[in-house]
Amino acid sequence: MKAWIITIGNEILIGRIVNTNSAWLAKKLTTMGIEVRRMITIPDEEDEIIHTFREAVRHADLIISTGGLGPTFDDKTSEALAKALNRKWVINPDAYEEVKRKFEEANMELTEARLKMAKMPEGSVSLSNSAGTAPGILIETNRKLIVALPGVPREMKAIFEENLEKILAEKAPHKYYAEKSIGVVGIPESAFAPYIDELMKKYPKIYIKSHPRGHETKGPVLEIHITTYADTERDAIKLVEDAANEIIEKIDELGGEVTYQ
């Protein structure tokens, strides 16, 4: 199951805000056995949103967007998604009840800008938002799952954990993810590189990546990160541990020091 994560918002593209939403979602999906293949950030422009959703639907099984669901003129995700899928953009009865109730409780009028948060592509499932106003959108089409969540991290996380996670868990492959990090000082990345290559041939299901954290020639510090997917949690952990043990032996052999594991 391949996923794309789409971030909609100029504030990311001008560098005002670091995209923590994508990282949070990626971690969630990865541990569920869903492979995130691409993250894209685009501006609050209808054409860009339509184009990107269409491209995503061609390549991914699961598409999750964040941002652009609020009441302002530049919240364009919902309407653009309807256009991308050639669906009508209509009042969703569940979303309408939720939005209406929230504004009634606050003694606020249901203006046109507010009503917009209840409009969704025809056939959407409304995902209730316990942390804010705009509900999320869930669409299933041709075995693809398309989800639009708000950009406010607290609201995005609330909808994901309360309403989306269980739906995804049912559809996700029953794969278990395991990972392990090993800290090393004293071995330059370029000295360890050929060995990683060799080890990945020996363990084809394992992915090993080294991250330089120091200075290659003047004080090498590495983080070696091992990841795998397997059919059972036990298998995943065992695979990672086996590879980790070989790596630790090699670190010893090369005269490096393991600082954590």
* Binding status of residue 67 toward its own copies by CB under 8 A: no
* Binding status of residue 66 toward its own copies by CB under 8 A: no
If we measure between CA atoms, which residue out of 19, 15, 172 comes closest to residue 5?
Answer: 19
Among the listed ranges 80-88, 106-114, 139-147, 246-254, the one in contact with its own copies (CB under 8 A) is 106-114
* Binding status of residue 23 toward its own copies by CB under 8 A: yes
Task: List, in sequence order, every beta strand (DSSP E) within 104-186.
Answer: 119-121, 125-127, 136-141, 144-149, 176-185
Among the listed ranges 88-96, 168-176, 192-200, 246-254, the one in contact with its own copies (CB under 8 A) is 192-200
CB within 8 Å of 125: residues ≥ 6 apart: 94, 137, 138, 139, 140
Of the candidate residues 8, 32, 42, 85, the single one contacting its own copies (CB under 8 A): 42
> Site residues for its own copies, window 143-182 (CB under 8 A)?
152, 179
Of the candidate residues 108, 161, 202, 231, the single one contacting its own copies (CB under 8 A): 108
> Site residues for its own copies, window 222-241 (CB under 8 A)?
225, 227
Tokens of 175: 């794969």
DSSP alpha helix (H) spans, the chain: 10-13, 20-31, 46-59, 77-84, 93-105, 112-115, 153-159, 165-171, 189-202, 233-253
* Binding status of residue 22 toward its own copies by CB under 8 A: yes
* Binding status of residue 19 toward its own copies by CB under 8 A: yes
- The C-alpha atoms of residue 136 and residue 202 are separated, in whole angstroms, by 44
* Binding status of residue 185 toward its own copies by CB under 8 A: no
Pair 181, 260: CB distance under 8 Å: yes
Question: What DSSP designation does 188 have?
Answer: -
Count of C-beta atoms within a 10 Å radius of residue 167: 15
Among the listed ranges 82-90, 138-146, 167-175, 203-211, the one in contact with its own copies (CB under 8 A) is 203-211
Q: Which is nearer to its own copies, 202 or 209 (CB)?
A: 209
Closest approach, Cβ 180 to its own copies, in A, equals 12
